[in-house]
Structure 1
Amino acid sequence: MASLDLVAERADRRAWLGLVIVLGPVALVAMDGSVLYLAMPSITSAITPSTDQALWILDIYGFAVSSLLIAFGNLGDRYGRLKFLLTGAIVFGLGSVGAAFSPNPEALIACRALMGLGGATLLPSGLAIISNLFPNPRQRSQAIGIFAATFAAGFAVGPVLGGLLLSRFDWGSVFLINIPVVVLFLAFAPVLLKEVRTTNPGRVDALSVVLSAVGILLAVYAVKTAAAEGFSATQAATGLLGLAILVWFVRRQLTLEYPLLDLRLFKDHVFTVAILTGLLSLVAWAAAGYLTGVYLQSVLGYSVLAAALLVLPGAAVLTAACIGAPGVVERIGMRSALIASHFFMGAGLLILLLTTTEHGVAAFIASSVVTGVGYGFSFSLVADTAVAAVPAERAGSAASLAEMSNELGNALGISLLGSLAALLFRLTGPGAAGTLDETLDISGIASGTIAEAKDAFVTGMHGAVGVASLLCLGLGFLALRWVPKERKAEAEEAAVTP
């Protein structure tokens, strides 16, 4: 009997070690969605991307991950999750090296896309392997909670890590930091992890993969270029083509036996609210993170290290809120916690409207702390809420959609709200250049022009975060109507049922 207990103890220890080794790539995927927020001024000075290129550098990674996440999840089911994890880690590492030594914006965009290609294999495969490592429901719940907390912490720590690295090293260091983690993962993963595959995963529709990726990219490209350069017939045609392809994609999903995006799940209002929460929380977080990073450095004049230190309070609160969310749910229920996340995010974003070209540090810290509570709750609760809202046999699709909503939100936040900020800058600024950083880099520029450019940037930032706040508050009120109170009682009953 003692021997059996010892075997069980060793199996548990190996499972926890396997969890630790999977968390490395998970943290990297999350960090690389945000690590450039404080690094963009340095990158702009070094390789001088245009306004459009700067936005692509930031968000092509998120678009690559989000557009391929579900497809790669299905392929992992068919061909083996561990194989996909190892292959994805190699591709991610190669992309990181290429990005670190990119000589121009085009090369950096291509390498960021390659990193996104690798990252799209890591999240769904990592979550599936973790679930397989812990057959005990209680331990599995703990492990998935740690997975979610690591993902949230990676998003929060990314800007801080980027700032610390840039205070001592060249901008390429924000990518080279990935390499040691990738090497350790490739060394230990084959030893600690077992292969996981599904016996009947269904067929992956290649056309759906192409339609979703191309449709998203064309539609967002039209929005981004219109904000940076003004509207034109070509941009309108590109946007309409992208929307038409997305409509084709949606209609195709309704006819497939194994759809890439199971639209039937959205018939459940609770599931819809959960997915929209995952999407909008990252839209708001990404846009505010990028714009405030530029604001602290280029408007208020803080060094990259000082800006990184100012991010720490919000990052700490976000991580603590994510870890503490299950305890909050036990006290007030899933519904109340989910609704609270929207109002914390919306209220915190409104605080950023108090920032000016002269003062804004106190408002920034207060905003990051208040929104950090909302972001932490959201990151922790979205997947659980989505999965609990659908039948057990569709839990995998629900989890993949929850992950995709986060990644797509991260990309859309910078693309759409970043484009709105760029449009307002172009309309109200001095017209010397397309962005604030490009304006500041002009030699011999007049002080009046600099002041006008800073005012225009703050105007653009206020417009973007104002829209983000309204979206979060609006979804909060929608959740009040759509998420029934009975869900809390059902969750408590399920928790005590053997």
Structure 2
Amino acid sequence: MRATAGAREWIGLAVLALPCLLVSLDAEVLNMAAPQLAADLQPSAVQLLWIMDSYVFVVAGFLIAMGVLGDRIGRRRLLLAGSGAFALSSVLAAFATSPELLIAARVLMGLAGASLMPSTLALIRAMFADARQRGIALGVWSASFSLGGLAAPLIGGVMLEHFWWGSVFLLAVPATLLLVVLGPALLPEARDSSARGFDLGGAVLSLAGVLILVYGIKRLAAEGWDAVPLLAVVLAGVVLALFLRRQRTIANPLLDLTMFRDGRVRVALVANALSFFVLYGTQLAIVQYLQIVLDLSPLQGGLWALPSVGAFLLASLVGPMLVRWFPAGRVVAVGAVVMAAGHGLMAFTPYGGGLPALVAGMVIGGLGLAPVYTLTTDLVVSSVRSSRAGMAAAVTETGAELGGAIGIAVLGSVVVAAYRNGMAGVPGLPADGTLMDAAAAGSAVAQRADDAYGFAFALLMLVAAALVAVAAVLAFRVLWPTLRGADAIAADPSDMVVPVLSPRPAQESERLTTPSGRRE
């Protein structure tokens, strides 16, 4: 395998990036289609909850198992199979005629989606041996995956104005089918040929633990600190503790716990999870402020989000280039500071800043988030033998998913508590009334609700800025080794890191074949 990537690898990256963009867009845009979907299929409240959340549950639960499975059977093989399954399940979801059928299709989509993220990351590591090229490739991957979610309000608004709710599921079908057709010619196969067996018991424990944890966190976000979701979180902790104990004792573990011995890996994972904690935890508040307080339509809100999309894309590509001149950890720390500054600026939105402060804060936050996400992902995926890159990628993505879910619950609770405190004693409103309830109760009540929500919004942004500042401090203290560039971690002889697909022939423990089947 040559040290520098050529035209085939970059074209292969483009084929990988397009489905990532559309799959993430597909997942996010369903939130906008919920009213039309509910009117057509008439699901119960519980069924609607499962329609919206089953995809997230299954993706989060299966990431680690799918990452390890790709290392075992081949990442390209798993990616192509998952892409075909995602296209098929998307078609089933688009034309579902009952809530039960749609839930089943969403579960299949989640299972297929869980195979895509770790496989694409692991293949990028296999395709781009040079650290600088790999950083740019990961920037493209990060930009494509996040662009889908960030552009969902705009594209979803256009789709739902002209087509039925099922059309949002069809967005990813052409791209995933394109990957199935072109993947065998453009993508190498890579797997861990020294692996023996698959830890099915560990896979079941990790699936059960993550599913129960995400379920408990979702219930906490929706219902507050109730007994059932709290018990679910405790049960999840017990199951995950059993999973970790099993991984320490069996001969061929699902999860290589030695990767966590390096403090830089731990801090990279924490910084990554904290960034998604803040991103997911503030998104709903931003959408509500745009649409309810500022009275913008979903399409208008999506248009005002476009500058932040552009900022994220730019930073996703520029951030990895900066490691040519600065240590990767320092770039991560500065990115976290910039992200914190963006959220601090958004705190002025209710107090004279208005829409300009909100949009500018979103742009600055996007500029900071991109290098944090991209470079911490690279640091973690590069911290293990390349034959276990799928496992490391899955750990990173699981941390991001859990960080986002916890952020929704915790930061959502901050907003709800602050808003209800500001609305205490208002006649004619229930104790658990929402901003939308107040908007329908008359102009005087609506104005007080806007003021109360403005205070809650500002408090949320200040809390978010403080949390990202913690990530900045951790990154500054731990993540900038004396060597420069993303390969600095791998150069430390005290680590268990193996250089990524170096120019020497691949070791026997890692089998790498070109698209034509020739082993390199």
Under TM normalisation by the shorter chain, which class is it?
Answer: 0.7 to 0.9
Q: Distance in 2 between matches of 1:133 and 1:231?
A: 46
Structure 1 contact 55–418 (Cα < 8 Å) conserved: no
Q: How far 1:407 sits from its partner (Å)?
A: 3.4
The structure-2 alpha-carbon separation of the partners of 1:293 and 1:54, relative to structure 1 and needing over 3 Å to count, comes to: farther
- Match for residue 181 of structure 1 among 152, 172, 175: 175
Q: Distance in 2 between matches of 1:183 and 1:73?
A: 21
Q: How far 1:440 sits from its partner (Å)?
A: 7.5
The structure-2 alpha-carbon separation of the partners of 1:218 and 1:421, relative to structure 1 and needing over 3 Å to count, comes to: farther
Please say which of residues 252-261 and 106-115 is displaced more in the overlay: 106-115
Q: How far 1:89 sits from its partner (Å)?
A: 1.7
Identity, in percent, stands at 37
SS, match of residue 323 in structure 2: helix
Specify which structure has the higher proportion of helix: 1
Query: Partner of 1:119 in structure 2?
Result: 113
Structure 2: gaps (5+ residues): 424-428, 492-498, 504-520
Equivalent residues in 2 for 1:63-142, closer than 5 Å: 63-101=57-95, 111-133=105-127, 142=136
CA RMSD of aligned residues (A): 3.8
Query: Partner of 2:507 in structure 1?
Result: none
Query: Partner of 1:241 in structure 2?
Result: 235
The structure-2 alpha-carbon separation of the partners of 1:373 and 1:33, relative to structure 1 and needing over 3 Å to count, comes to: farther
Q: Deviations over 1:338-389 (max 9, x none)?
A: 1112111222112222233997311211111111111111122112222455
SS, match of residue 261 in structure 1: coil
Equivalent residues in 2 for 1:156-171, closer than 5 Å: 156-171=150-165
The structure-2 alpha-carbon separation of the partners of 1:197 and 1:28, relative to structure 1 and needing over 3 Å to count, comes to: same
Q: Distance in 2 between matches of 1:310 and 1:491?
A: 38
Q: How far 1:148 sits from its partner (Å)?
A: 3.4
Please say which of residues 196-205 and 411-420 is displaced more in the overlay: 411-420
The structure-2 alpha-carbon separation of the partners of 1:30 and 1:247, relative to structure 1 and needing over 3 Å to count, comes to: same
Structure 2 contact 118–391 (Cα < 8 Å) conserved: no
Q: How far 1:250 sits from its partner (Å)?
A: 2.5
SS, match of residue 480 in structure 1: helix
The structure-2 alpha-carbon separation of the partners of 1:347 and 1:142, relative to structure 1 and needing over 3 Å to count, comes to: closer
Q: TM-score, normalised by structure 1?
A: 0.82
Confirm whether residue 297 of structure 1 aligns to residue 291 of structure 2: yes
Structure 2 contact 192–387 (Cα < 8 Å) conserved: no
Q: Distance in 2 between matches of 1:456 and 1:43?
A: 32
The structure-2 alpha-carbon separation of the partners of 1:323 and 1:14, relative to structure 1 and needing over 3 Å to count, comes to: closer
Q: Deviations over 1:4-54 (max 9, x none)?
A: xxxx9xx95544443322222222333345435666677678779899887
Confirm whether residue 378 of structure 1 aligns to residue 378 of structure 2: no
SS, match of residue 330 in structure 1: coil
The structure-2 alpha-carbon separation of the partners of 1:118 and 1:12, relative to structure 1 and needing over 3 Å to count, comes to: same
Structure 1 contact 227–422 (Cα < 8 Å) conserved: no
Query: Partner of 2:468 in structure 1?
Result: 472
Confirm whether residue 20 of structure 1 aligns to residue 19 of structure 2: no
SS, match of residue 204 in structure 1: coil
Q: TM-score, normalised by structure 2?
A: 0.79
The structure-2 alpha-carbon separation of the partners of 1:414 and 1:115, relative to structure 1 and needing over 3 Å to count, comes to: farther
Query: Partner of 1:204 in structure 2?
Result: 198
- Match for residue 147 of structure 1 among 115, 129, 141: 141
The structure-2 alpha-carbon separation of the partners of 1:470 and 1:63, relative to structure 1 and needing over 3 Å to count, comes to: farther
Structure 1 contact 37–159 (Cα < 8 Å) conserved: no
Structure 1 contact 203–258 (Cα < 8 Å) conserved: yes
SS, match of residue 258 in structure 1: coil
- Match for residue 286 of structure 1 among 280, 291, 303: 280
The structure-2 alpha-carbon separation of the partners of 1:87 and 1:202, relative to structure 1 and needing over 3 Å to count, comes to: same
